[in-house]
Amino acid sequence: MIPARRFADALAQAAVSASPPERREWAEAMRAEVDHLPDSDAAAFAAGCLWTAVRARVDSAGFVLGAARWGLVLAAILWAGLHLRLAGRMSAADAALPEALSYAAAAIYALGALATALFGLRVTAVLATPVLGLTAIYAAAAATLMPQSPNRAFYQALAVEEVAVLLAALLIALVAPRWAAARTVAAAAKP
């Protein structure tokens, strides 16, 4: 078998592997077509087939939901780790409250990551909403809670950052399923 044909076959096989389950028959159809092509055209044709399969995979609702879910899990684990590191480095005498909250946040993010991994985005939204509310209240009250602290602006900034991160996570958890559904409908309706 000549190298160009072997390369084309490998591309066509990759297209089958890359395609989402609902498009597997089409990927098999493309691979079968590559089998019937002259060697000179097979590689370019198979490359287009692979592109089609990858696009179908990325466009599939499952991929969008999976990317959102596992992206949030990864981000929550990283964020929990950052909170642990931050809490461990707080040494100012007035840092008892932010330090305790940082440890609590690390635990909440770790729990959120686990729950999202096990149960999906709906649970992320359910967990993030009350935490967001409480964090927003803390962010608004941080300066009042520590009136004597020279670092109160810093602690307040951390709380505001926390609100922004939680808001982003909540938006992703709420929007991703709707976006995936809308993409499916739009793709089916496109002339």
Backbone angles phi, psi at 182, to 5 degrees: -65, -40
Using the contact rule CB under 8 A, the part of the chain among 38-46, 75-83, 118-126, 148-156 near another protein is 38-46
4 binds another protein (CB under 8 A): no
Enumerate residues 6+ apart whose C-beta is below 8 A from 90: 98, 99, 102
Taking the alpha carbons at both ends of the chain, their separation in whole angstroms is 41
37 binds another protein (CB under 8 A): yes
23 binds another protein (CB under 8 A): yes
Smallest gap from residue 183 Cβ to another protein (A): 13
Backbone angles phi, psi at 94, to 5 degrees: -90, 10
| Residue 25, SS3 per DSSP | helix
Hey, which residues between 41 and 80 contact another protein (CB under 8 A)?
A: 41, 44-49, 51-52, 55-56
| Chain contacts with another protein (rule: CB under 8 A) | 23, 26, 28-30, 32-33, 35-37, 41, 44-49, 51-52, 55-56, 187-188, 190-191
